[in-house]
Structure 1
Amino acid sequence: MSEEIKEEKRKYGFYHRKGEKIKVVFTDGKAITGKYLFASSYEIFIETEDGKELTIFKHAVKYVYVID
């Protein structure tokens, strides 16, 4: 019998931060705050305080951080 080795795919970055409040700062210096929903290869999805869901393209982002 052969044993199969299952490798768990390790998640990095904000994968474990779903539902937390984050601040996204853009390359032009402007910023937006919202609840982190999901991130794909090219976009970050957040929900603003007024309930709007936004798609932010990663190429426009300078940095992102979690607000305590």
Structure 2
Amino acid sequence: MSEEIKEETKRKFGFYHRKGEKIKVVFLDGKAVTGTYLFGAKYEIYIKTDEGKELTIFKHAMKYVYVID
């Protein structure tokens, strides 16, 4: 009686697969910033704006995020 051990794969949610795509982040106060998604950590995301600045945005300051087509 042999049992096969199945390897579980972690399922990634959110913007994990969106690296390199243009996104728009809208803040709680209504202001927004547009840039290229670089990386997302537990409490923050990193984007690069069109002007070349790299920004760290804390998730608790965001209202919503969406991908620009």
Q: TM-score higher than 0.5 here?
A: yes
Query: Displacement of 1:2 after TM fit?
Result: 4.7
Supply the distance in 2 between the matched residues of 1:55 and 1:64 (Cα, whole angstroms): 14
- Structure 2 unaligned spans of 5+: none
- The 4+ residue runs of structure 1 with deviation greater than 6 A are none
TM-score, normalisation: structure 2: 0.93
Higher Cα radius of gyration:
2
TM-score, normalisation: structure 1: 0.94
Identical-pair percentage:
74
Q: Which residue of structure 1 lines up, in the alignment, with residue 9 of structure 2?
A: 8
- Structure 1 unaligned spans of 5+: none
Q: Which residue of structure 2 lines up, in the alignment, with residue 31 of structure 1?
A: 32
Question: Which structure dedicates a bigger proportion of its chain to helix?
Answer: 1
